Structure 1
Amino acid sequence: MHRGMAEATRLTRQGHLEEATAAIQRTLGGKFFPASSPGGPGDTDVPIDVTSRLVKQTPKGPAGRHTGGRGPTLLTRGVGKPSGTRVGRAASAGVPEGGRFVERSYTNSAGTRSYKLYIPSGYTGQAVPLIVMLHGCTQNPDDFATGTRMNEIAEERTFLVAYPAQAGNANMQKCWNWFQAVDQQRGRGEPSIIAGITKQIASEYDVAEGRVYVAGMSAGGAMAAILGATYPDLYAAVGVHSGLAPGAATDLSSAFTAMRQGGPVVARRDVPDGGYREVLPTIIFHGDGDTTVHPRNGDRLLAHLEGGKNGSSPRVTTRRGRVQGGYEYTRFTYQDAEGRDLVERWSVHGLGHAWSGGSYPGSYTDPRGPDASAEMVRFFGQNHKR
């Protein structure tokens, strides 16, 4: 699988798009989405305690930055920590006029996590979509909201956005623990907490049925992929930016190996007790200049999604473009027999470990790439549970 995808990547960089598409088709060999597998253990995400408060609006503006000084060592920097174009102190989120940014917390048997919820001014009780956004290491909800500009898009398009926050006592660098076996399972660990946050919001606001989505960056992207795999009944589609496939690691040592070299191609049945039942439509972004999470992990995630529901081969289309004054990119789209987009794989040429098309006031962003936030919202809008 990897050899075929590497050949496709080489052909793409040389501009041979037809040959690259053919190589992908040969590699897939008529399989794309796995068949359903038995469900996992029962949910344990029953809320124990919920608190909330309204956060005052914060004026927009760049936060102070520093790039000098001695960096963290390999053992203290955490797993999946971004190292992109903009680094340094996390930014405070600006709130679009009329919108509200509510800070809350959620507790179940697996632990407690705070989160922030953006409620657009256009929400008056009607059914609207919900997107759950998972930050990368060292980030927080304010910083991630600023860097992705997802609140601004939510204000324009009228949907809710939730930003769960990793706790410092769960990971000192505030990385989601995507590499621990207990945090890759339905009804346990961090997936149960994030799913519980999602359900709590849906119980208190009018969330449109079948229009709940999850996306993330780096460690958050890896956790988003895990949530899509373990809770396909809750989420309708997944966005993974610079992340890793479920099962790419089971401890800290294998996590570093996966980040540097690309994780193994893991069959869903080999992921520890995950309860995976289906694979959701997924949009993948990864920079081919990423030196923190190897770009090969994007291919590994694609391999994880391999093996068609009905045994048929997806139709693959390839498009290459360039952001004005920015990076070139290649987008591979995988469609089923009915023409529905199952997976989009965006390779941004020259992008490091940073949110493509992001806003500089946020950390680990690069505005020179295609707008990942807008593309994910578009992709999500095309996919909902029927």
Structure 2
Amino acid sequence: MALTAGLVAAGPQASAAGLTQVTGFGTNPGNLSMYEYAPAGLSAGRPLVIALHGCTQSASDYYDHSGWPKFADLYGFALVFPQTSSANNGNSCFNWFQPGDTTRGQGEALSIKQMVDKAVAQYGSDTGRVYITGLSAGAGMTANMLAAYPDVFAGGSIDSGLPAYCANDTASAYTCMYSPPDRTPAQWGDLVRSAAPAGTTSWPRVAIWQGTSDTTVAPANATELRDQWTNVWGIGQTPSRTESLTGGTTLSVYDDGSGRPAVEVYSISGMAHGLAVDPGSGTEQCGSTGTYYLDTICSSYHTARFWGLDGGGTGTGALPAPTGLTVTGTTDTTASLTWNAVDGAASYQVFRGGTKVGTTASAGYTDTGLATGTAYRYTVAAVDSSGTAGAASAAVTATTTGFTPTCDTASNYDHTVAGRAHQSGGYTYAQGSQQAMGLWNTFTTHTLEQTSPGYYVIADSGCTG
């Protein structure tokens, strides 16, 4: 993070193979450098991702370690890596705490927007699928960019970062990093609304990544970020559902009014300050370890899925995306779907979580062999007579019936971050049962058993899940 004394000199200039510097992308009032990467033969109409490095890092450092190039190749999209320098900030951090660099149309914020415009013109990118992600100071800048340019970005990912406009000078930046203000969701949301163009009604979908053992950016920032962006979306702060992922990660999902995820919070148990990576050759793995690149879970993969970059059936064909995808029924192990037929479709491909699970000639499908009490996301694509799939439908979520109890042992603080408990007046209470768990801190530990969706009980003496 920009202001930590232990972080020193700037990283090397971008020079990784495949990464190309672009000049002449605009007036560049923020004095930034632009680097880009795109798969060979990338067609027009594909997404664009902007990736902001952390302090003491560079564009090439983020390119080498983050895992984003793997998914650009796999899913087909362009990448832009903005780079700052020690001339802008002594630790080569994006100036997320300086109003002159975070306000729409000014400084570094405008330079990044000009990079978006340059890449869109160069690659013919889909302007409705432009996304931004960042680590640490880059994450703080990401939050500000999402607030200042909601008309530009369809989604964002804030990794070990801070709420939009939490700070407006050096002193308040330290406060935000170590002990963020406990504002109400509406107060946080107002900071976003006041930064956005007047009359904005459409907002980016936001992923929030945070390690529970981060001592550089306090984990409480994830809670404040959740409050900020759920309020902007006009939804509550109780998760629609939670999932356990690899690497000790708990995912809390907050759906919009249509049942589509609007905000997702990934809390990684025991992870310090950095970007979550998971080196390996598997589809769900990515990146390489290094300073502030921590081996836990591939955040880039899960973020790409959240944004829909995995395609979920998005192909190169001319057929439009099916409309009206609906969950018509579920059992303990099945989910049934229907959608509106597409003229000219010879068949349809059905995708669960971005992976094709079936092909059908009719406008309906039943997926089988599912786990009980589990949420699954589906998309559908129409396939023409040549076997080419068209665009994917909007996603729907189907939750199977039944429930498998789960158990989690953690501090009272971590339970609240994961959505298993909440705090009031400095004390912690189990979500659902409202059982008193003691002081809200990182020292008091309990085991909670989830006995039904969103309902937790204290199970320190033994857990059946």
Please give the TM-score of this superposition, normalised by the length of structure 2.
Answer: 0.58
Paired position in structure 2 for 1:141: 59
Paired position in structure 1 for 2:252: 332
- Aligned-partner Cα distance in 2 for 1:299–1:198: 29
- Aligned-partner Cα distance in 1 for 2:268–2:30: 37
Paired position in structure 1 for 2:292: 364
- Displacement of 1:351 in angstroms is 0.5
Contact in 1 for aligned 2:189/2:231 (Cα 8 Å) = no
Does 2:139 align with 1:202?
Answer: no
RMSD: 3.0
- Aligned-partner Cα distance in 2 for 1:258–1:309: 23
- Displacement of 1:157 in angstroms is 1.4
Q: Equivalent residue of 1:116, what SS? A: strand
Does 2:286 align with 1:352?
Answer: no
Higher relative contact order (CA 8 A, sep 6+): 1
Residue among 304, 315, 318 paired with 2:228: 304
Unpaired runs of 5+ residues, structure 2, are: 279-286, 312-391, 395-465
Paired position in structure 2 for 1:215: 133
Does 2:67 align with 1:128?
Answer: no
Q: Equivalent residue of 2:156, what SS? A: strand
- Aligned-partner Cα distance in 1 for 2:258–2:194: 33
Paired position in structure 2 for 1:289: 213
Paired position in structure 2 for 1:47: none
Paired position in structure 2 for 1:245: 163
The AA in structure 2 aligned to 1:217 is L
Structure 1 residues 310 and 297, CA, compared in 2 at 3 Å: closer, same or farther?
closer
| The structure with more helix, counted as a fraction of residues | 1
Does 2:110 align with 1:192?
Answer: yes
Contact in 2 for aligned 1:111/1:193 (Cα 8 Å) = yes
Paired position in structure 2 for 1:320: 244
Contact in 2 for aligned 1:217/1:242 (Cα 8 Å) = yes
Residue among 37, 55, 77 paired with 1:118: 37
- Displacement of 1:253 in angstroms is 0.7
- Aligned-partner Cα distance in 2 for 1:146–1:280: 27
1:186-226 deviation digits (Å, cap 9, x = unpaired): 11121111011111111122102311000000000111111
Contact in 2 for aligned 1:222/1:244 (Cα 8 Å) = yes
Q: Tell me the matched-pair count.
A: 297
Paired position in structure 2 for 1:30: none
Paired position in structure 2 for 1:6: none
Contact in 1 for aligned 2:147/2:192 (Cα 8 Å) = no
The AA in structure 1 aligned to 2:300 is S
- Aligned-partner Cα distance in 1 for 2:76–2:269: 32
- Aligned-partner Cα distance in 1 for 2:117–2:10: 33
Q: Equivalent residue of 1:209, what SS? A: coil
- Aligned-partner Cα distance in 1 for 2:252–2:73: 29
- Aligned-partner Cα distance in 2 for 1:301–1:221: 11
The AA in structure 2 aligned to 1:289 is S
The AA in structure 1 aligned to 2:71 is I
Contact in 1 for aligned 2:210/2:219 (Cα 8 Å) = yes
- Aligned-partner Cα distance in 1 for 2:10–2:169: 27
Residue among 16, 24, 27 paired with 1:108: 27
Paired position in structure 1 for 2:460: none
- Aligned-partner Cα distance in 1 for 2:308–2:36: 20
| The structure with more strand, counted as a fraction of residues | 2
Within-5 A mapping of 1:162-173: 162-173=80-91
The AA in structure 1 aligned to 2:53 is H
Residue among 149, 160, 164 paired with 1:231: 149
Contact in 1 for aligned 2:162/2:221 (Cα 8 Å) = yes
Pair member with larger Rg: 2
Contact in 1 for aligned 2:10/2:92 (Cα 8 Å) = no
Comparing 305-314 and 280-289, the one that deviates more: 305-314
1:331-386 deviation digits (Å, cap 9, x = unpaired): 1001123221101100000100111125345431112x1210101111111799x9
Q: Equivalent residue of 1:208, what SS? A: coil
Structure 1 residues 81 and 117, CA, compared in 2 at 3 Å: closer, same or farther?
farther
Contact in 1 for aligned 2:233/2:262 (Cα 8 Å) = no
Paired position in structure 1 for 2:190: 269
Counting aligned pairs with the same residue, the percent is 27
The AA in structure 1 aligned to 2:190 is R
Unpaired runs of 5+ residues, structure 1, are: 1-76
- Displacement of 1:270 in angstroms is 4.4
- Aligned-partner Cα distance in 2 for 1:311–1:373: 25
Contact in 2 for aligned 1:137/1:176 (Cα 8 Å) = yes
- Aligned-partner Cα distance in 2 for 1:210–1:82: 40
Contact in 1 for aligned 2:97/2:167 (Cα 8 Å) = yes
- Aligned-partner Cα distance in 2 for 1:331–1:275: 28
- Displacement of 1:311 in angstroms is 6.7
- Aligned-partner Cα distance in 1 for 2:242–2:30: 43
1:31-84 deviation digits (Å, cap 9, x = unpaired): xxxxxxxxxxxxxxxxxxxxxxxxxxxxxxxxxxxxxxxxxxxxxx8326897x
Q: Equivalent residue of 1:173, what SS? A: coil
Paired position in structure 2 for 1:256: 174
- Aligned-partner Cα distance in 2 for 1:109–1:290: 33
- Displacement of 1:288 in angstroms is 0.4
- Displacement of 1:135 in angstroms is 0.5
- Displacement of 1:122 in angstroms is 3.9
